[in-house]
Every structure is written in structure tokens, then in C-alpha cells.
């Protein structure tokens, strides 16, 4: 949410991407600690603490900490000659994803998910303006491919939120905010963030 509102006051605080809360009192830390291992990509899924790791093959797990064994199908004859049987891809990779090891998809941006089922709208369309931060707005359970999405032949656009920089508001942070109201003269917003009078 771009503007934090204190329901008992006549002002709102417009927090930059680094802070959140009614008075911009909390500092943001989503993905700052690089929680995804093995070159996994951290994708923020809400504006405070949620994230999903998009793991590249052959890694899996919440933090890309597991290595999934890649099995090669082969048969050995009596003369000790190994014949490799070509593998068949058992998953459908959407969004120009490449099948790896027969049962995993290597997704290209902006696609992610087990079968490249989801489109990161922030990367695909860059909807946020004026220095705003785009955050994928979905919970972690929605990031796991469901049976319905796996059956779909088209990738699913993931909802997003724009976290506006100070002085901007609106769904895409394209509305300039100006105020000279007395309720903001005491600078109630913390960490140098901008105060906006209610009703302006």
C-alpha cells in the first residue's frame, strides 16, 4: 500500500520503498538478505515479509537448498555396452521454458514457477512509475503451481502492488501529492518520510 493511514489522525504518511507502517516506522527487508541459495531468484510476494525463491534446475526447496537428482535412463547389454535411451519431457513448460532432465522447467524472465506458469507482471510490464517499487502481490501458497494452473495452456499474470516514493500516489504512482495542511506541520512521519493531510 503506497500511503500508510493512521485512522485516528487527520494525516497520512507517504513512505518511500525503504519504510512502512502508519508513521513509516518499520524498515523494509524483503529479499535484502538474499535468502535464496544456489543462484535462486528472490521474488517478493507481499509488501512486508513474504518471498518465494525461483530455483533454477536442478535445485528445489523453499530456499533452493535441495539438489534434485537428474536421472539418466540407460540399459546395459551383455557386452557391457551402455545405450542411453532418450528421455521424454513429462512436464509442459510454458512461456518459452526449456525442459531439463525430463521433469523440470528452466524458465526465462518474466516467467517463473514449476512449469513457468506465472508471469511476473512487474518484470513483464513495469507498471509502476516515478521511482516506485513494484511488488508481486500474492501469498506464498499461490506461488506453488496448482493443478488448475498446470492444466492451463497460457501463463498466468501475477497481481502486483506499486509502493510509491514520497510525493506520489495512485495504483501506478502517477498522481503527484501536494499538501500544506497544518496537520503535517509537526512532522509526525518518522525517518524523514512525507506527511499528507487527509482529504487533500
A 10 A CB-CB count for 37 gives 15
Rounded to 5°, angle at Cα 133 from 129 and 136: 110
Query: What phi and psi, each to the nearest 5 degrees, are found at residue 78?
Result: -65, -25
**Whole-number Å distance between alpha carbons of 200 and 183:** 11
User: What average pLDDT does this structure show over 112-132?
Assistant: 88
Task: Report domain extents, the chain.
Answer: 11-67, 86-116
- Per-residue confidence at 127, pLDDT binned at 50, 70, 90? very high
Element (H, E) at 2: none
100, 110, 137, 163 from 107: Cα distances, Å: 10, 8, 20, 27
Per-residue model confidence (pLDDT) at position 73? 52
Chain segment 94-111, per-residue pLDDT in tens:
888 888 887 888 888 888
**What value does the mean pLDDT of the chain take?**
73
- Rounded to whole angstroms, the Cα distance separating 5 from 9 reads 8
pLDDT attached to residue 37: 83
Determine if residue 61 is left, alpha or beta; phi over 0 gives left, psi from -120 to 50 gives alpha, anything else beta. Answer: left
Instruction: Please report the DSSP string for 13-75 in residue order.
Output: EE--TTEESTTS-EE--TTTT----TTPEEEE-SSSS-EEEEPPTTEESTTS-EEPPPPPPEE
CATH number of 11-67: 2.10.25.10
Per-residue pLDDT at 32 exceeds 70 = no
On the question of pLDDT at 34 being above 60, the answer is yes
Amino acid at each position: 500500500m503506497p500511503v500508510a493511514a493512521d485512522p485516528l489522525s487527520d494525516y497520512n504518511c507517504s513512505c518511500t520503498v525503504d519504510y512502512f507502517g502508519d508513521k513509516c516506522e518499520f524498515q523494509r527487508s524483503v529479499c535484502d538478505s538474499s535468502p535464496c541459495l544456489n543462484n535462486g531468484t528472490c521474488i517478493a510476494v507481499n509488501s512486508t515479509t513474504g518471498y518465494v525463491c525461483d530455483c533454477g534446475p536442478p535445485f528445489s526447496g523453499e530456499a533452493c537448498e535441495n539438489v534434485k537428482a537428474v536421472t539418466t535412463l540407460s540399459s546395459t547389454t551383455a557386452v557391457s555396452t551402455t545405450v542411453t535411451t532418450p528421455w521424454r519431457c513429462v512436464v509442459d513448460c510454458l512461456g518459452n521454458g526449456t525442459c531439463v532432465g525430463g521433469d523440470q522447467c528452466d524458465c526465462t524472465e518474466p516467467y517463473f514457477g514449476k512449469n513457468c506458469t506465472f508471469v511476473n507482471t512487474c518484470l513483464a510490464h513495469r507498471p509502476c512509475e516515478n521511482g516506485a517499487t513494484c511488488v508481486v502481490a500474492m501469498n506464498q501458497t499461490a506461488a506453488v503451481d496448482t493443478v488448475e494452473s498446470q492444466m492451463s495452456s497460457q501463463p498466468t499474470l501475477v497481481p502486483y502492488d506499486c509502493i510509491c516514493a514520497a510525493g506520489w500516489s495512485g495504483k501506478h504512482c502517477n498522481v503527484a501529492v501536494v499538501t500544506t495542511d497544518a496537520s503535517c506541520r509537526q512532522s509526525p512521519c518518522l525517518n524523514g518520510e512525507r506527511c499528507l493531510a487527509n482529504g487533500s
